[in-house]
Amino acid sequence: MSKILFFAGSARKNSFNKKLAKAAYNIASKKDIEATFIDLRDYPMPLYDGDLEDDIGLPENAAKLKTLFAEQDGFFIATPEYNSSLPPLLKNTIDWISRPNPNTPDMADPYKGKTAAIAASSPGGLGGMRVLVPLRMLLGNIGIHVMPTQVSVNFVSKSFDENGNLINENQLGLLHATIDELIQTTNALKT
């Protein structure tokens, strides 16, 4: 059974991207995979700094995330768009996890050969589509197979009900298709 990790590149308590990642997780939990949802808010880390890494090594939460990511077969990442690019939380998380951990030198690369589906949401008409380009490029450069299908939820304040359910039929259909593609590809690459 494939293991897929669901998370958002936002620490905000009421983040729409967190709602999107949670909606994806809820859909995937009903399928034949082991789905896990995490909140990056629970893993605070300093900004990546090579001198800090030389002094203290991998911060405790980076080491925890590195182990968790290494155990996964795939990822679902929902992210906000900051100035047409990645939010600092997501980039910092990816960077710290990529660093070696002297305490577990034999740990496999937490990214290489894994799969990912990417998603974004925003209050505007583009739905965070501009962030998906640099995110796709970054993930591909670190060895992750990124699904061609992606999710972009525009006018996000009208897209979720009070319980955090995605209610726009077209967006919900795209989310289902993206999750199915992620699961099928992850399972195929795992065999």
Rounded distance between C-alpha atoms, residue 25 and residue 46, angstroms? 27
DSSP conformation class of 166: B
Question: What domain count does the chain have?
Answer: 1
> Which two three-digit tokens encode residue 48?
């990546």
Kindly report the backbone phi and psi dihedral angles of residue 74, in degrees, each rounded to the nearest multiple of 5, phi listed first: -160, 170
pLDDT in tens, the chain (191 residues): 999 999 999 999 999 999 999 999 999 999 999 999 999 999 999 999 999 999 999 999 999 999 999 999 999 999 999 999 999 999 999 999 999 877 776 677 899 999 999 999 999 988 899 999 999 999 999 999 999 999 999 999 999 998 888 999 999 999 999 999 999 999 999 86
CATH of the domain at 41: 3.40.50.360
Q: What range does the domain containing 118 cover?
A: 3-190
Q: Element (H or E) spanning 59, and its range?
A: none
Nearest to 97 by CA among 63, 73, 139: 63
Q: Report the half-sphere exposure of 189 (CA within 13 A, side-chain side).
A: 20
